[in-house]
Structures are given as C-alpha cells and as structure tokens.
Amino acid sequence: MKFNPPQTLGNIASIIGAKSIGNSDFEILGLNEIHKVEPGDIVFVDHPKYYDKALNSAATIILINKEVEAPEGKVLLISKDPFRDTLRLIDHFSPFKKAEKAITDSAKIGEGSVIQPNVFIGNNVTIGKNCRIHSGVSIYDNSVIGNNVLIHSNTVLGADAFYYQKREGAYQQFTSCGRVVIKDNVHIGANCTIDKGVTGDTEIGEGSKLDNLIHVGHDTVIGKNCLFASQVGVAGCVTIEDNVTLWGQVGVASDLTIEEGAVVYAQSGVGKTLAANKTYFGSPCEESKGKFREIYTLKRLAKENQ
C-alpha cells in the first residue's frame, strides 16, 4: 500500500503513538508486509525470530516491539504491539468505504465492455475496453481489469486474504488493503475466487485462462499465457511464470515459484519450487517420468508378492 501523499516518520509516529528513532522528517512512501516490501516502506515485526529478516529486508522503516540498532539508512518505530499498530495505519489510510449502489460512481468502465445484470463493481474499480462480465460477478474495491477480459458468473475478485495471527487464544485477521490486477485477454471461469493482496497486488498475467472453480490466494503473481484447469488451488505469495499449465485439482503451497513452461498433471500437490519446462506428477509432485516408474515398480512388486 502506497501513501498518497507520502508521509514522514514523525507523522506516522503521532498517528499510532509510537516512539520514533531517526529523523522525524524521514520520508515514508508506503506500508507492506514482508513479502512485498520496497525501499520507503514500513514493515512490522513482533517476534525475535523474525527481527533480522525485517531489519535486513528492503523496507527502510521497521515497526518493532524492541529498541534495537537500526541498520544504516533505516529508521525505527518502537511499539508495544506492532501488529495492532499496522492495522491502525491501514484503517487510517485505507478505510473501508461502503458502496451505495451495485455499480459505484467511481468505477471506470471502458468502451465496448458489457456488464450483465446483477454484477457488483466496487469503489475505484477500473475495467478496460471490450470486456464481458457475467451475472453474479463481484469485483471488490480498487481492482484493475485490462482489455478483452471475460469473467463468468459468480466469480469474486478481491476478497480478503486468508491471513491471520493467533493472539490471546483466538485468530485475528490482518486487514487486506491490496488489489487484484487482471491483465489483457484473460478468461476467468465461473465460481472462481481471486483474493486481493495483503498490501500489494494479486496479478493474473496477459492471455492466461482459468477454468471454473479455481482459487488464487493473496499476492500471487501469475504470468502470461498460463492455463489452469478446474479446481486448481493456489496459496498466497506464489510466483507462477509464463506458459505454465496446471491440470485439474492441482494444489500449490505458499511462497514458492513454478518456473516458465512447467506442466503439472492432475491431482498433484506442489510443495516446492518447480524447474522450468519439465512435467510433474504426484503428491508431493516429482518429475513425471520418475514418478510413473516408481508407481509401475510398486505395482510389479505387489504382484510378485501375491
């Protein structure tokens, strides 16, 4: 999430009542979680296990619950509860805005696009030219849709990330303030769900095609000309490069990469990064030739021992 206009360290400290360490005029450009941080961003950390990761990340403003030495070129915000104060900043700079009608006045819809009855289009949504959005689709606030995009009935773009922290014996949701970005010439089937980024973008690349009943988690970036068959489930913070094919019921764990041109056969479970231009199968999935030999060998041994 970027601040518009940029803020200062002193201003952010006053909003959340935190102690600042550094020049009060230090410029702050935005707020992001650890997977998406860039120079000028705030990142929060509230557990000693992750102090080094946050302090050495690209973020230049660290919201932390212990006074430590700041790396060169970085500043600190000292807070008793960094998680809580991060949510306070999100609510301050990106508050929930009620929609007053099914297609909000702030939505921008390009020439030639057809919006069927019973579609919801939220605040500040942008839809390009020559799109077709079928009945029952919900497009949440701030989503961006390119040209020549087809979205079938009952698909939801921009629901909250499945992102929680366990606090005092219960799960508290981290407020999602990111977006969904759909590039040109994408087709999305019926009953798909694409969650917005926690603080950044979930992105579907140009020319990619998604079948019915597919879920894409927060902050996942899908490349160009990918093909996903029905019931694929992709967790958050995944990078899927160009020309990847995932066949039916493939499940993909979080925070990994599927490299360009990889093909994953149906009902496989992806739990690690997959190399480019290879074919995979199984759960956990492996290169398909080896996996099929393993299955054949086990069947042969079973017959021999009957």
Q: Which residues, 6 or more positions from 17, have their beta carbon under 8 angstroms from its beta carbon?
A: 85
In the annotation, is 218 catalytic?
yes
If residue 270 lies in a helix (H) or strand (E), which one and from where to where?
strand 269-270
Q: What is the pLDDT of residue 295?
A: 81
Is the entire prediction scored with pTM above 0.75? yes
Average pLDDT in the chain: 95
- Fill in the DSSP letter of residue 197: P
Nearest to 213 by CA among 261, 248, 171: 248
Q: What percent of the chain has pLDDT over 90?
A: 91
Confidence of residue 292 (pLDDT cuts 50, 70, 90): confident
Hey, how many other C-beta atoms are within 10 angstroms of the C-beta on 281?
A: 21
Confidence of residue 64 (pLDDT cuts 50, 70, 90): very high
**Which of the pair, 97 or 295, is modelled with greater confidence?**
97
Query: What is the radius of gyration, based on Cα positions, of the chain?
Result: 22
Residue 63's beta-bridge partner residues? Answer: 44, 77
pLDDT in tens, 223-281: 999 999 999 999 999 999 999 999 999 999 999 999 999 999 999 999 999 999 999 99
The pLDDT of 136-150, averaged and rounded, is 98
Architecture of domain 2-93: 3-Layer(aba) Sandwich (3.40)
Hey, how many other C-beta atoms are within 10 angstroms of the C-beta on 57?
A: 21
Of 134, 152, 215, 218, catalytic: 218
Q: What is the pLDDT of residue 110?
A: 98
- The structural domains of the chain, with segments of one domain joined by +, span 2-93, 108-291
Residue 263's beta-bridge partner residues? Answer: 245, 279
Q: Are 202 and 219 in contact (CB under 8 A)?
A: yes
Looking at CATH, the fold of the domain delimited by 108-291 is given as: UDP N-Acetylglucosamine Acyltransferase; domain 1 (2.160.10)
Same fold? 2-93, 108-291: no
